Structures are given as structure tokens and as C-alpha cells.
Amino acid sequence: MTETTDLKTRLWKRLKNQRAGMLGLENNRLHMQPMTPYPDQAANRIYFIVSSDTELVGALPKADRACFTFQTPDESFYACITGPISISEDGEKLDELWSIVAAAFFEEGRDDPKVTLLEMVPENAAVWTTDADSFQFGVEIARAAAGEKDEPDLGRHEVLELA
């Protein structure tokens, strides 16, 4: 397995275990909003369950590209995923993803007319990883500050093509 393939596998695995991240629309003045991602690696899709009355959904006719960012709780993995986004009419997919957590945000549950499924097609992802613990971090910062290195070696950065 190549390093890039391994990093793609890690991205999808981390995304699957991610409780929330920040979703925003490209070329739009709206702030990014916290969202729970529902990734489907086999289909190369990330779904989001949102309310139709949000500014984000309201802006979709004018903005059709999104950016989803997240970091893992241990701060060892950061990602920024971009790609087209649209409203999905796939009721079966929504049923598959529906949960008690999603239901908590809608007064009428799954049948609430405001329930909206967004579908993002990831095209690429910028990923940063670090395996440095606190001690290694300190050593790398000190070495760079002392001029022993141009910059600290804290991990890896790569842009992955996903589409």
C-alpha cells in the first residue's frame, strides 16, 4: 500500500468516527457551521442531515461547492475536504442515515418537512498528520528555534485526489 493510499484510508476511517466538523460553502460570506458527517466511502459521498430553514441550505442555489473541515480529538489528524454539494432527494439514503441524534433536531422527527439531506462529492482533501507526542513536539520546536533546522518536523501534509 502506498503512503497516499494509506492516507486516503486513514481519512475515510477518521471521517467515519468523526462526531462533527465544520461545513461551509465556497465563495460565500456565511460562517462555517458545525455538522455531523455521514460518509459513504464506497460511493465517494459525504452526507449531512440539516434543516431546510438554515442559511446554508438557502445559499445552495447560488453556491454549489462546499468545504468540510475536521480534526480528531487527539489533534493528530486534520483535514479539509472540498467538492460539489447539493440537496439530495434520496429518501432511502436518509432512512439509512436517520438516528435518534438526527431526530433530536427535528420537532416532527423523520417526517418533519424541514429535514433535508445534503450530498457532497469529495474531490480532494488537504490532510495534515502528526505523530509527535508533547515531548517530541517540544524537541522539534526547540531545534527549529535554535537554528538547527529550518522548521520543526511535526508530521506530514498532502493533498489527496478523491474523485
Spatial distance between the Cα atoms of 10 and 104, rounded to a whole number of angstroms = 30
Spatial distance between the Cα atoms of 7 and 16, rounded to a whole number of angstroms = 14
Q: State the residue range of the domain holding 113.
A: 3-161
Per-residue pLDDT, averaged over 3-8, amounts to: 85
Higher local confidence (pLDDT), 146 or 80: 80
Query: Which pLDDT score is estimated for 125?
Result: 98
DSSP three-state, residue 49: strand
Confidence of residue 146 (pLDDT cuts 50, 70, 90): confident
Query: Which pLDDT score is estimated for 17?
Result: 94
pTM of the complete model beyond 0.85: yes
Query: Which pLDDT score is estimated for 102?
Result: 95
Per-residue pLDDT, averaged over 122-144, amounts to: 84
CATH code, 78: 2.30.110.10
Summarize pLDDT for 16-48 with one digit per residue, the tens.
999 999 999 998 889 999 999 999 999 999 999
Domain count, the chain: 1
Query: Which pLDDT score is estimated for 160?
Result: 96
Spatial distance between the Cα atoms of 75 and 55, rounded to a whole number of angstroms = 29
**DSSP code per residue over the chain:** --HHHHHHHHHHHHHHT-S-EEEEETT--SPPEEE--EEEGGGTEEEEEEETTSHHHHHTTT--EEEEEEE-TTSSEEEEEEEEEEEE--HHHHHHH--HHHHTT-TTGGG-TTEEEEEE---EEEEEE----HHHHHHHHHHHHTTSSSS----EEEEEE--
Is the pLDDT at 54 greater than 90? The verdict is yes
| Least confident range of 19-23, 68-72, 97-101, 129-133 | 129-133
